[in-house]
Structure 1
Amino acid sequence: MIKRLFLALFFVAAFQMLSAQEGKFGFIDFNRTLKLMPEYSEAESKLRGIQSDYHEEIERSKREFERQYIEFMLEQDHLSASIVAKRQKELQLLMDNNAQFRDNIQLELEARRDELLMPIKKKLLETVSDVCIGNNLDYVVDTSKGTYLFINPEKGVDITEQVYKLLGIENKTETVVEGGQPVLKTNNNDETVEQ
Protein backbone atom coordinates (compact mmCIF):
# COMPACT_ATOMS: atom_id res chain seq x y z
CA MET A 1 0.00 0.00 0.00
CA ILE A 2 2.75 2.43 0.94
CA LYS A 3 4.58 1.44 -2.22
CA ARG A 4 1.51 2.33 -4.32
CA LEU A 5 1.03 5.63 -2.49
CA PHE A 6 4.69 6.50 -3.01
CA LEU A 7 4.44 5.56 -6.69
CA ALA A 8 1.28 7.67 -7.10
CA LEU A 9 2.94 10.67 -5.40
CA PHE A 10 5.98 10.23 -7.63
CA PHE A 11 3.85 10.33 -10.80
CA VAL A 12 1.87 13.36 -9.56
CA ALA A 13 5.09 15.22 -8.74
CA ALA A 14 6.63 14.30 -12.10
CA PHE A 15 3.49 15.44 -13.94
CA GLN A 16 3.47 18.75 -12.08
CA MET A 17 7.14 19.31 -12.89
CA LEU A 18 6.52 18.63 -16.57
CA SER A 19 3.46 20.87 -16.73
CA ALA A 20 5.26 23.62 -14.82
CA GLN A 21 7.93 23.85 -17.52
CA GLU A 22 7.06 26.61 -19.93
CA GLY A 23 8.13 26.86 -23.52
CA LYS A 24 10.55 29.62 -24.40
CA PHE A 25 9.47 31.64 -27.41
CA GLY A 26 10.69 34.43 -29.62
CA PHE A 27 8.92 37.12 -31.58
CA ILE A 28 9.63 39.09 -34.74
CA ASP A 29 7.75 41.25 -37.23
CA PHE A 30 8.14 38.95 -40.24
CA ASN A 31 6.70 41.32 -42.86
CA ARG A 32 8.77 44.30 -41.71
CA THR A 33 11.93 42.19 -41.73
CA LEU A 34 11.09 40.80 -45.17
CA LYS A 35 10.65 44.32 -46.57
CA LEU A 36 14.03 45.40 -45.17
CA MET A 37 15.91 42.63 -46.99
CA PRO A 38 17.83 43.88 -50.06
CA GLU A 39 16.45 40.98 -52.11
CA TYR A 40 12.92 42.24 -51.43
CA SER A 41 13.69 45.63 -53.00
CA GLU A 42 15.15 43.87 -56.05
CA ALA A 43 12.05 41.68 -56.40
CA GLU A 44 9.72 44.68 -56.06
CA SER A 45 11.75 46.54 -58.70
CA LYS A 46 11.43 43.61 -61.13
CA LEU A 47 7.70 43.45 -60.43
CA ARG A 48 7.29 47.18 -61.09
CA GLY A 49 9.04 46.69 -64.45
CA ILE A 50 6.65 43.90 -65.38
CA GLN A 51 3.67 45.99 -64.22
CA SER A 52 4.87 48.89 -66.36
CA ASP A 53 4.97 46.70 -69.47
CA TYR A 54 1.46 45.45 -68.81
CA HIS A 55 0.22 48.94 -68.01
CA GLU A 56 1.40 50.15 -71.41
CA GLU A 57 -0.50 47.33 -73.14
CA ILE A 58 -3.65 48.05 -71.10
CA GLU A 59 -3.45 51.73 -72.04
CA ARG A 60 -2.97 50.83 -75.72
CA SER A 61 -6.05 48.58 -75.61
CA LYS A 62 -8.02 51.29 -73.83
CA ARG A 63 -7.08 53.87 -76.48
CA GLU A 64 -8.06 51.45 -79.25
CA PHE A 65 -11.45 50.85 -77.65
CA GLU A 66 -12.04 54.59 -77.19
CA ARG A 67 -11.07 55.25 -80.82
CA GLN A 68 -13.48 52.61 -82.11
CA TYR A 69 -16.23 53.79 -79.75
CA ILE A 70 -15.91 57.43 -80.85
CA GLU A 71 -15.83 56.36 -84.49
CA PHE A 72 -18.98 54.29 -83.93
CA MET A 73 -20.79 57.14 -82.14
CA LEU A 74 -20.01 59.52 -84.99
CA GLU A 75 -21.17 57.07 -87.68
CA GLN A 76 -24.09 55.28 -86.05
CA ASP A 77 -26.75 57.68 -87.36
CA HIS A 78 -25.65 56.90 -90.93
CA LEU A 79 -25.48 53.11 -90.53
CA SER A 80 -28.14 50.47 -91.00
CA ALA A 81 -29.58 48.73 -87.94
CA SER A 82 -27.74 45.47 -88.72
CA ILE A 83 -24.36 47.26 -88.97
CA VAL A 84 -25.08 49.17 -85.72
CA ALA A 85 -25.87 45.87 -83.98
CA LYS A 86 -22.71 44.28 -85.41
CA ARG A 87 -20.52 47.20 -84.28
CA GLN A 88 -22.12 47.19 -80.83
CA LYS A 89 -21.30 43.49 -80.49
CA GLU A 90 -17.74 44.16 -81.66
CA LEU A 91 -17.34 46.94 -79.09
CA GLN A 92 -18.82 44.76 -76.35
CA LEU A 93 -16.47 41.92 -77.30
CA LEU A 94 -13.49 44.30 -77.29
CA MET A 95 -14.52 45.66 -73.88
CA ASP A 96 -14.95 42.11 -72.50
CA ASN A 97 -11.57 41.05 -73.91
CA ASN A 98 -9.90 44.08 -72.31
CA ALA A 99 -11.50 43.28 -68.95
CA GLN A 100 -10.43 39.63 -69.23
CA PHE A 101 -6.91 40.73 -70.15
CA ARG A 102 -6.74 42.98 -67.05
CA ASP A 103 -7.95 40.11 -64.85
CA ASN A 104 -5.40 37.73 -66.35
CA ILE A 105 -2.65 40.28 -65.84
CA GLN A 106 -3.63 40.68 -62.19
CA LEU A 107 -3.46 36.91 -61.65
CA GLU A 108 -0.16 36.69 -63.51
CA LEU A 109 1.33 39.55 -61.45
CA GLU A 110 0.26 37.89 -58.20
CA ALA A 111 1.80 34.59 -59.32
CA ARG A 112 5.00 36.37 -60.42
CA ARG A 113 5.17 38.22 -57.08
CA ASP A 114 4.80 34.94 -55.18
CA GLU A 115 7.49 33.39 -57.38
CA LEU A 116 9.90 36.29 -56.77
CA LEU A 117 9.27 36.41 -53.01
CA MET A 118 9.34 32.67 -52.33
CA PRO A 119 13.16 32.31 -52.15
CA ILE A 120 13.38 35.49 -50.07
CA LYS A 121 10.77 34.25 -47.59
CA LYS A 122 12.53 30.89 -47.49
CA LYS A 123 15.84 32.60 -46.64
CA LEU A 124 14.16 34.61 -43.87
CA LEU A 125 12.41 31.52 -42.46
CA GLU A 126 15.71 29.60 -42.46
CA THR A 127 17.41 32.49 -40.66
CA VAL A 128 14.60 32.67 -38.07
CA SER A 129 14.93 28.90 -37.61
CA ASP A 130 18.71 29.20 -37.10
CA VAL A 131 18.21 31.94 -34.49
CA CYS A 132 15.54 29.87 -32.72
CA ILE A 133 17.76 26.82 -32.57
CA GLY A 134 20.68 28.96 -31.37
CA ASN A 135 18.52 30.44 -28.60
CA ASN A 136 16.82 27.12 -27.76
CA LEU A 137 13.39 28.59 -28.51
CA ASP A 138 10.30 26.41 -28.86
CA TYR A 139 8.43 28.68 -31.27
CA VAL A 140 8.22 32.20 -32.72
CA VAL A 141 5.29 34.63 -32.76
CA ASP A 142 4.92 36.75 -35.91
CA THR A 143 3.97 40.19 -34.57
CA SER A 144 3.18 41.56 -38.04
CA LYS A 145 -0.16 39.74 -38.02
CA GLY A 146 -1.30 41.40 -34.78
CA THR A 147 -3.12 38.22 -33.73
CA TYR A 148 -1.41 37.98 -30.35
CA LEU A 149 -3.08 39.61 -27.38
CA PHE A 150 -0.11 39.82 -25.05
CA ILE A 151 3.60 39.02 -25.01
CA ASN A 152 5.22 38.62 -21.62
CA PRO A 153 8.60 40.40 -21.85
CA GLU A 154 9.95 38.06 -19.16
CA LYS A 155 9.22 34.97 -21.28
CA GLY A 156 9.46 36.14 -24.90
CA VAL A 157 12.73 36.89 -26.67
CA ASP A 158 12.85 39.54 -29.39
CA ILE A 159 14.92 37.84 -32.09
CA THR A 160 14.76 40.79 -34.51
CA GLU A 161 18.32 42.04 -33.97
CA GLN A 162 19.84 38.57 -34.31
CA VAL A 163 17.93 37.91 -37.54
CA TYR A 164 18.89 41.34 -38.91
CA LYS A 165 22.53 40.66 -38.12
CA LEU A 166 22.52 37.29 -39.91
CA LEU A 167 20.78 38.84 -42.93
CA GLY A 168 23.07 41.88 -42.99
CA ILE A 169 20.22 44.33 -42.39
CA GLU A 170 21.14 47.59 -40.69
CA ASN A 171 18.53 48.29 -38.04
CA LYS A 172 17.56 51.82 -37.16
CA THR A 173 14.93 50.73 -34.66
CA GLU A 174 14.63 48.33 -31.80
CA THR A 175 11.62 46.42 -30.61
CA VAL A 176 10.71 46.63 -26.94
CA VAL A 177 7.70 45.19 -25.16
CA GLU A 178 5.61 47.77 -23.36
CA GLY A 179 2.39 46.67 -21.70
CA GLY A 180 2.59 43.28 -23.40
CA GLN A 181 2.73 44.79 -26.90
CA PRO A 182 5.85 44.90 -29.10
CA VAL A 183 6.66 48.54 -29.89
CA LEU A 184 9.29 49.91 -32.30
CA LYS A 185 11.64 52.58 -30.95
CA THR A 186 13.72 54.54 -33.42
CA ASN A 187 17.40 54.76 -32.46
CA ASN A 188 17.67 58.29 -33.93
CA ASN A 189 15.11 59.72 -31.55
CA ASP A 190 12.98 58.11 -28.90
CA GLU A 191 9.81 58.31 -30.93
CA THR A 192 7.64 55.21 -30.54
CA VAL A 193 5.73 53.56 -33.33
CA GLU A 194 3.31 50.74 -32.55
CA GLN A 195 3.61 47.67 -34.75
Structure 2
Amino acid sequence: MKKFFTVVLFASGLMMVAAHAQAQTKIGYISSQEVIGIMPETRKADTLLTDFRNALLASAQEKQAAFYAAYEKFAKDSTTMSEAVKSVKKQELNKLSTELGGEEERIQNALQQKRDELIMPINKKAFEAIQAVAKEAGYTYVFEKEALLVAPTGEDILPLVAKKLNIKLPNAAGANAPAPAKKP
Protein backbone atom coordinates (compact mmCIF):
# COMPACT_ATOMS: atom_id res chain seq x y z
CA MET A 1 0.00 0.00 0.00
CA LYS A 2 2.86 2.35 0.81
CA LYS A 3 4.38 1.66 -2.61
CA PHE A 4 1.03 2.40 -4.32
CA PHE A 5 0.69 5.66 -2.39
CA THR A 6 4.23 6.70 -3.45
CA VAL A 7 3.49 5.96 -7.13
CA VAL A 8 0.21 7.91 -6.99
CA LEU A 9 1.91 10.84 -5.26
CA PHE A 10 4.74 10.83 -7.83
CA ALA A 11 2.27 10.64 -10.76
CA SER A 12 0.16 13.49 -9.40
CA GLY A 13 3.30 15.56 -8.93
CA LEU A 14 4.28 14.98 -12.56
CA MET A 15 0.78 15.94 -13.70
CA MET A 16 0.94 19.16 -11.67
CA VAL A 17 4.33 20.06 -13.18
CA ALA A 18 3.05 19.33 -16.70
CA ALA A 19 -0.10 21.38 -16.10
CA HIS A 20 1.99 24.26 -14.75
CA ALA A 21 4.31 24.12 -17.78
CA GLN A 22 1.35 24.07 -20.15
CA ALA A 23 -0.31 26.99 -18.36
CA GLN A 24 2.80 29.10 -18.94
CA THR A 25 2.61 28.69 -22.72
CA LYS A 26 0.78 31.70 -24.06
CA ILE A 27 0.20 31.95 -27.80
CA GLY A 28 -0.67 35.07 -29.74
CA TYR A 29 -0.89 36.10 -33.36
CA ILE A 30 -0.73 39.35 -35.27
CA SER A 31 -0.81 40.68 -38.80
CA SER A 32 2.39 42.69 -39.03
CA GLN A 33 1.15 44.18 -42.31
CA GLU A 34 -1.95 45.45 -40.51
CA VAL A 35 0.22 47.03 -37.81
CA ILE A 36 2.41 48.72 -40.41
CA GLY A 37 -0.68 49.81 -42.34
CA ILE A 38 -2.16 51.70 -39.40
CA MET A 39 1.07 53.44 -38.38
CA PRO A 40 1.11 57.17 -39.20
CA GLU A 41 4.71 56.81 -40.37
CA THR A 42 3.46 54.58 -43.20
CA ARG A 43 1.10 57.24 -44.50
CA LYS A 44 3.93 59.78 -44.38
CA ALA A 45 6.26 57.38 -46.21
CA ASP A 46 3.57 56.76 -48.86
CA THR A 47 3.23 60.51 -49.40
CA LEU A 48 7.00 60.96 -49.67
CA LEU A 49 7.23 58.03 -52.07
CA THR A 50 4.44 59.45 -54.25
CA ASP A 51 6.18 62.85 -54.35
CA PHE A 52 9.48 61.16 -55.24
CA ARG A 53 7.80 59.14 -57.99
CA ASN A 54 6.18 62.27 -59.43
CA ALA A 55 9.55 64.05 -59.45
CA LEU A 56 11.18 61.13 -61.25
CA LEU A 57 8.39 61.02 -63.83
CA ALA A 58 8.61 64.78 -64.39
CA SER A 59 12.35 64.45 -64.95
CA ALA A 60 11.77 61.62 -67.44
CA GLN A 61 9.18 63.69 -69.28
CA GLU A 62 11.64 66.59 -69.49
CA LYS A 63 14.28 64.26 -70.94
CA GLN A 64 11.75 62.93 -73.43
CA ALA A 65 10.70 66.45 -74.45
CA ALA A 66 14.36 67.43 -74.87
CA PHE A 67 14.94 64.37 -77.07
CA TYR A 68 11.94 65.18 -79.28
CA ALA A 69 13.03 68.81 -79.56
CA ALA A 70 16.57 67.75 -80.52
CA TYR A 71 15.18 65.27 -83.04
CA GLU A 72 12.88 67.88 -84.61
CA LYS A 73 15.76 70.36 -84.78
CA PHE A 74 17.95 67.74 -86.42
CA ALA A 75 15.24 66.85 -88.94
CA LYS A 76 14.74 70.52 -89.79
CA ASP A 77 18.43 71.47 -89.97
CA SER A 78 19.85 68.25 -91.43
CA THR A 79 19.51 69.50 -95.01
CA THR A 80 22.05 72.25 -94.34
CA MET A 81 24.50 70.07 -92.33
CA SER A 82 27.58 68.42 -93.65
CA GLU A 83 27.79 64.61 -93.50
CA ALA A 84 30.28 64.77 -90.59
CA VAL A 85 27.97 67.01 -88.53
CA LYS A 86 24.96 64.79 -89.40
CA SER A 87 26.88 61.74 -88.21
CA VAL A 88 27.78 63.40 -84.89
CA LYS A 89 24.18 64.60 -84.36
CA LYS A 90 22.79 61.12 -85.16
CA GLN A 91 25.16 59.61 -82.58
CA GLU A 92 23.98 62.14 -80.00
CA LEU A 93 20.32 61.36 -80.79
CA ASN A 94 20.99 57.61 -80.57
CA LYS A 95 22.66 58.10 -77.19
CA LEU A 96 19.67 60.14 -75.94
CA SER A 97 17.27 57.51 -77.28
CA THR A 98 19.16 54.74 -75.49
CA GLU A 99 19.10 56.71 -72.25
CA LEU A 100 15.35 57.22 -72.59
CA GLY A 101 14.90 53.50 -73.20
CA GLY A 102 16.47 52.69 -69.82
CA GLU A 103 14.68 55.49 -67.97
CA GLU A 104 11.74 53.35 -66.85
CA GLU A 105 14.05 50.77 -65.30
CA ARG A 106 16.04 53.52 -63.55
CA ILE A 107 12.81 54.99 -62.19
CA GLN A 108 11.70 51.59 -60.86
CA ASN A 109 15.10 50.98 -59.24
CA ALA A 110 15.14 54.44 -57.65
CA LEU A 111 11.58 53.96 -56.36
CA GLN A 112 12.44 50.57 -54.87
CA GLN A 113 15.54 51.96 -53.18
CA LYS A 114 13.59 54.92 -51.76
CA ARG A 115 10.78 52.62 -50.60
CA ASP A 116 13.25 50.37 -48.80
CA GLU A 117 14.87 53.42 -47.20
CA LEU A 118 11.52 54.71 -45.94
CA ILE A 119 9.95 51.40 -44.89
CA MET A 120 12.90 49.81 -43.07
CA PRO A 121 12.61 52.02 -39.95
CA ILE A 122 8.84 51.50 -39.88
CA ASN A 123 9.22 47.72 -40.05
CA LYS A 124 11.84 47.86 -37.30
CA LYS A 125 9.60 49.96 -35.04
CA ALA A 126 6.64 47.60 -35.57
CA PHE A 127 8.78 44.51 -34.90
CA GLU A 128 10.23 46.04 -31.72
CA ALA A 129 6.72 46.91 -30.50
CA ILE A 130 5.51 43.37 -31.18
CA GLN A 131 8.48 41.96 -29.28
CA ALA A 132 7.92 44.35 -26.37
CA VAL A 133 4.21 43.48 -26.14
CA ALA A 134 4.97 39.76 -26.29
CA LYS A 135 7.47 40.10 -23.47
CA GLU A 136 5.29 42.40 -21.33
CA ALA A 137 2.15 40.29 -21.77
CA GLY A 138 3.96 36.99 -21.30
CA TYR A 139 3.44 35.50 -24.75
CA THR A 140 5.64 32.49 -25.38
CA TYR A 141 4.90 32.46 -29.10
CA VAL A 142 3.58 35.13 -31.47
CA PHE A 143 2.77 33.96 -34.99
CA GLU A 144 2.18 35.87 -38.20
CA LYS A 145 -1.60 35.69 -38.66
CA GLU A 146 -1.56 35.26 -42.45
CA ALA A 147 1.01 32.44 -42.36
CA LEU A 148 -1.05 30.03 -40.27
CA LEU A 149 -3.56 27.63 -41.72
CA VAL A 150 -4.06 25.59 -38.57
CA ALA A 151 -2.84 26.69 -35.20
CA PRO A 152 -3.57 26.27 -31.52
CA THR A 153 -5.91 28.77 -29.95
CA GLY A 154 -4.24 32.12 -29.50
CA GLU A 155 -4.99 35.78 -29.05
CA ASP A 156 -4.76 38.60 -31.55
CA ILE A 157 -2.27 41.03 -30.00
CA LEU A 158 -2.94 43.82 -32.52
CA PRO A 159 -4.84 45.92 -29.94
CA LEU A 160 -1.93 45.62 -27.49
CA VAL A 161 0.66 46.57 -30.13
CA ALA A 162 -1.47 49.50 -31.32
CA LYS A 163 -1.71 50.70 -27.72
CA LYS A 164 2.08 50.32 -27.33
CA LEU A 165 2.58 52.46 -30.45
CA ASN A 166 -0.07 54.99 -29.30
CA ILE A 167 -2.19 54.30 -32.38
CA LYS A 168 -5.95 54.24 -32.35
CA LEU A 169 -7.27 51.24 -34.24
CA PRO A 170 -9.71 51.92 -37.06
CA ASN A 171 -13.20 50.65 -36.27
CA ALA A 172 -12.97 47.79 -38.78
CA ALA A 173 -9.83 46.32 -37.21
CA GLY A 174 -10.72 47.09 -33.62
CA ALA A 175 -14.34 45.90 -33.77
CA ASN A 176 -13.49 42.44 -35.08
CA ALA A 177 -10.50 41.93 -32.83
CA PRO A 178 -11.27 40.09 -29.61
CA ALA A 179 -10.26 41.76 -26.42
CA PRO A 180 -7.00 40.44 -25.06
CA ALA A 181 -7.39 37.81 -22.39
CA LYS A 182 -6.49 38.77 -18.88
CA LYS A 183 -3.56 37.13 -17.18
CA PRO A 184 -4.63 34.49 -14.65
Q: TM-score with structure 1 length normalisation?
A: 0.65
Pick the structure with more strand per residue. Answer: 1
Q: One-letter code of the match for 2:105?
A: D
Change (3 A) 1:35 1:174: closer
Map of 2:165 onto structure 1 = 167
Distance of 2:72 and 2:148 partners within structure 1: 56
Change (3 A) 1:158 1:70: same
Map of 1:135 onto structure 2 = 137
Q: One-letter code of the match for 1:165?
A: K
Q: Which runs of 5+ in 1 are unaligned?
A: 1-5, 176-183, 187-195
Map of 1:110 onto structure 2 = 112
Distance of 1:132 and 1:55 partners within structure 2: 43
Map of 1:147 onto structure 2 = 147
Q: Equivalent pairs: percent with the same residue?
A: 25
Bigger CA radius of gyration:
2
Residue 127 of structure 1 deviates from its aligned partner by 0.9
Distance of 2:104 and 2:128 partners within structure 1: 36
Distance of 2:108 and 2:52 partners within structure 1: 11
Q: Any idea what the Cα deviations from partners look like across 1:169-192, whole Å, max 9, x if unmatched?
A: 2221247xxxxxxxx849xxxxxx
Q: One-letter code of the match for 1:59?
A: Q
Map of 1:47 onto structure 2 = 49
Map of 1:24 onto structure 2 = 26
Pick the structure with more helix per residue. Answer: 2
Q: TM-score with structure 2 length normalisation?
A: 0.69
Distance of 1:63 and 1:33 partners within structure 2: 43
Distance of 1:150 and 1:86 partners within structure 2: 68
Map of 1:124 onto structure 2 = 126
Residue 136 of structure 1 deviates from its aligned partner by 1.9
Distance of 1:122 and 1:81 partners within structure 2: 61
Aligned residues: 162
Q: Structure 1 stretch 96-105 or stretch 27-36: which is displaced more?
A: 96-105
Instruction: Please give the residue correspondences for 1:42-121 in structure 2 after superposition, counting only pairs within 5 Å.
Output: 42-73=44-75, 86-121=88-123
Q: One-letter code of the match for 1:61?
A: K
Match of 1:173, SS state, is helix
Greater relative contact order: 1 or 2 (C-alpha under 8 angstroms, separation 6 or more)? 2
Q: One-letter code of the match for 1:160?
A: L
